[in-house]
Amino acid sequence: MNTAKIILASSSQTRKELMDRLRLDYVSIVPDIDESPKGENHADDLAKRLAFEKARYIAEQHPDAIVIGSDQVAWREGAPDIFIGKPLTSEKAIRQLQANSDKIVYFSTALSVQQKSTGFERTLVEHYKVKFRKLSQAEIERYVKLEQPLHCAGSFKCESLGISLFEKMIGQDQTTLMGMPMIKLCSILRELDILVP
């Protein structure tokens, strides 16, 4: 059984909650990277680069540790090169949800697991999509006021009240939508001889 230290390269409370499900000992360290796009023309490419860079940044400092990085980029049907970021303000969240109304929004969620000392590296992208129902202005404003989804790509929290915004959800692993594909992560950890569960 592998006893290497496990580090989650993230400041995300949701990703920490997902990691907690595994009941593994781990620590969370925030990677200091530039998350702005660098010419990527598809959400998959941006998400993959950011997940890789987050894990690599921490792995450089902790070469014996198993480091987990993840990132998510959202985009609307027909526009994989126009990324939907975190709104950061209520006004932008309202605008995002207005634009999402009655549309399919896709999520490219990347995962990168690295251990520098052994040269281990797995980076992949998983997909999930949601069909928003037609939302009224009053529903949007009430939702943003109640949930304050200002640090969520797409301006919703599917694990909470955000579920009320959808007509349907399509994908194999709902944690992909939440920000880290846990089925794939568990598979990679088993590959590393980490006991899960």
- At a CB cut-off of 8 Å and minimum separation 6, what does 82 contact? 75, 76
11-70 tens-digit pLDDT: 999 999 999 999 999 999 999 998 888 889 889 999 999 999 999 999 999 999 999 999
CA distance 178 to 69: 14
* Tokens describing residue 77: 């049907």
Confidence of residue 77 (pLDDT cuts 50, 70, 90): confident
Q: Is the pLDDT of residue 154 over 90?
A: no
Give me the percent of the chain exceeding a pLDDT of 90.
79
Q: Which residue shows structure tokens 């907690």?
A: 20
Phi, psi (degrees; rounded to nearest 5) at 106:
-100, 150
* Tokens describing residue 130: 């949601």
80-115 tens-digit pLDDT: 778 888 899 999 999 999 999 999 999 999 999 999
- At a CB cut-off of 8 Å and minimum separation 6, what does 2 contact? 66, 192, 193, 194
Active site residues: 71
